[in-house]
Chains A and B, each alone.
Chain A
Amino acid sequence: MTQKNDLASLFATAIRRERDAAIFYQQIMERVANPAAKAVFAQLVKDENEHERFLEKCQVEPSLLADIDPHWDCHLATATDLPPLSIDMKPADAIALAMKKEQEAVDFYRMLAAKSADGKTKVLFNGLAKMELSHKNQLESVFTAIGYPEVF
């Protein structure tokens, strides 16, 4: 296989992951009872669809990935327990689930980058990891805003 074909295959995998994630969130959205959680999952479906479109653009112009610079990682996804899937999920559970999945994606692409001997492939995987990290950061910001209710 040529290097060009390799990269196309990698993009296809990445795009499929985003599509699968959108389907996953759609399925949960249809089942959860809490309207606010439903809205969050609906937004997550939209987000994943946007990510998919972004990757399609990157396929044509891979340098777009290089422009992503998530300058920090607060490791909130790692520190948060994976919420169990249930119809009683609340908005914070939805975000927690999503940021855990983004963390998985970051780890996945970083592992592939580490194992990759080819320079261009490594750069691509690192770019994808950064992209997922920036998604995770956004979700972690949301979780920080909604994940710690103060009750009396």
Chain B
Amino acid sequence: MVMMMLKGNEATAYAAKVAKVQVIPAYPITPSTLFPEKVSELIANGEMKAEFIPVESEHSALSAAIGAAATGARTMTATASQGLALMHEVLFIASGMRLPIVMAIGNRALSAPVNIWAEQQDTIAQRDSGWLQFYAENNQEALDLTLIAFRVAEDERVLLPAMMGMDAFVLTHTMEPVDVPDDKLVEKFLGPPKPKYPILDPTKPATFGAFVFPEHYMEFRYSQFVAMEHSKKVIDEAFNEFKELFGREYKKVTGFMNEDAEILLVTMGSMTGTAREAVRKLREKGEKVGLIKLTVFRPFPKEELIEITKNAKIIAVVDRNISVGFAGAIFTELAASYNNIKEKPKIIDFILGLGGRDIRLEDYYEIYNKAKESLNKEVKEINWINVDEEAVYEVEGPL
């Protein structure tokens, strides 16, 4: 292992290096551009042996990745926001063809208005694409979760592509000390990049991405559904083995000061660090508050989330995304997870930090106070935090 000062994008580039990724088709987009830059540099310096394919769009980047993965090569790419949106149709092709591509995402807001800063809307908008989704809290997690993503995606019981999200700038462009593990240890964890599925091979012709009639299509979709369910166990196995080999522990859902908490915050990504500090400060004042961090969003860790939150009175979900017309995604899915359970905590949604607006300690205090208020009186189900409601009132009128 080597400790290095790395930005988030560089951490995922080094993950590609130590995972011995063989093909990297990529198209630059803020805030992911540093990934193709760093990877090209590593290849040019002879530190990494891989084929870098410069393409003309994100649509082509993922299409090239599909071709590469179909030949059995370990394949990775990176993108963000509009780039991921442009990949939309190709995402479904990659998961439908069951190709274990890994993609690092710099989570960024979508246009319009044009904005390059942190928000998880881009990957949340792709939650139905059949890709696994991991979210990093810091740059070390970005590197580690990229390796874990390969391990799970390539597992024979899964064979689904995976995306690993890290918040724009807060992680992608911020330097942190990162432990870059040794190639040999990584090879022990991932195994050599040998395909476990039929590959594009001129000596054994086959049809890939075939046309399928209504008589068969549903079985392929159900097959993906089953594989995604299987991935739940595979992810736990990967987390356990990762801890044994590298010493760092991951869980789909991680609790902090949650044991006797009456009010639980649920966070995902870089916002968790600030939330932890807020919880610590509130605990000093004797408040019974705890924190649940979500690391895996697809497959949605329903069972683990219920287990860890069921004794709380209030769950305050913090969503850095919004499905306009309903609510934030984590709120929606957590509430749906509790659907058939009689005794359940009250679940309240808090939308904040969109388009890179800073998530501050005082925002968490406000969230906590609102959640606490709800113990005695009705509060809104969906609450926008740190937003100028008056400015919106001027143009849209009252809600």
Q: Does A associate with B in a complex?
A: no
